Amino acid sequence: MTATRTPRIPPLPPAQWPPVLRSLLADSRQDGPGRENLFGTLAHHPVLAHAWLSLARVLTHEGTLGHRRRELVVLRVAHRLDASYVHGRHRVPAEDAGLTGAEIDATAAGLAVHPWQPEDRALLEAADLLAANSPVPGTLWDRLARSLTSEQLVELLVLAGQTATMCTTLNTLRTPSDRQPSLAVLLDRDRCCSAGQCVGVAPEVFEQDESDGRVTLLVPDPDARYADEVRFAADLCPSGAITLVDHEETAHS
């Protein structure tokens, strides 16, 4: 998959997402950036999106494998399926889970390149086989079972399958990786005077709440393509409720 190819089904902009999908993105901000095009692709099928994201939330936040094991499996399956979007998206979560940069790089190389611990090596071998829909031999299963409970073994299989499903979907649709956000948007709703000028200028980022007339954020970390519109929206805001923070930590009110 390359980011330069035209997507077969272009991701929908945040302004066209159903509210529940925007809420799920906001609730999962701790999972890091890089999900806008993923969510925008799922937005074409809201019912499926909700079901898939519910499963993803369980695996990510309620699973029993542990963060390190989970990220090893996700990275390896993404590598085996040549899914650069997914592999790149999970570098930051992998670092947060305790994987070193060398280990993350090694998930995209031959298993002999890095001196993996026995448990890590078994997980990676299993990920290779599951990504190729190949049988898991009894000897490997026994090695996995020495360190994983029955619950964790089931979760391992579902995690590999869920990752493979998303890798295949994004690859086939040619979904591009998200562009690096150039700024973060801070909105003080208490100061908002409901003028709505920001919504007219940058509808992909701002939305006017029908219940109270004040503005809400669709995407707190907009992609760089919306930077000019968002900066103009901040300049137009009569109440100064919008603050922008770029990567150089420079604030614009």
- Supply the pLDDT for residue 210: 87
At residue 32, does pLDDT exceed 90?
A: no
- Supply the pLDDT for residue 249: 43
- Cα separation, 125 vs 58, in Å, equals 24
At residue 248, does pLDDT exceed 50?
A: no
Mean pLDDT of 16-20: 84
160 vs 235, residue with greater confidence: 160
At residue 22, does pLDDT exceed 70?
A: yes
- Supply the pLDDT for residue 184: 84
- Supply the pLDDT for residue 27: 66
Neighbours of 214 (CB within 10 A): 18
Global pTM?
0.71
- Per the CB < 8 A criterion, the answer to whether 186 and 243 are in contact is yes
- Supply the pLDDT for residue 143: 98
At residue 200, does pLDDT exceed 80?
A: yes
For the segment 138-159, what is each residue's pLDDT rounded down to a tens digit?
999 999 999 999 999 999 999 9
- Per the CB < 8 A criterion, the answer to whether 178 and 11 are in contact is no
Which domains can be identified in the chain, with CATH numbers?
A: 14-173 (1.20.1290.10), 183-252 (3.30.70.20)
- Per the CB < 8 A criterion, the answer to whether 236 and 252 are in contact is no
Interacting residues of 209 by C-beta distance below 8 A, sequence separation 6+: 215, 216
- Per the CB < 8 A criterion, the answer to whether 41 and 11 are in contact is yes
Mean pLDDT of 197-209: 90
Encoding tokens for residue 106? 């090694």
For the segment 84-105, what is each residue's pLDDT rounded down to a tens digit?
889 988 998 999 999 999 999 9
User: With 0-12 CB in 10 A as exposed, 13-18 as middle and 19+ as buried, what is 253?
Assistant: exposed
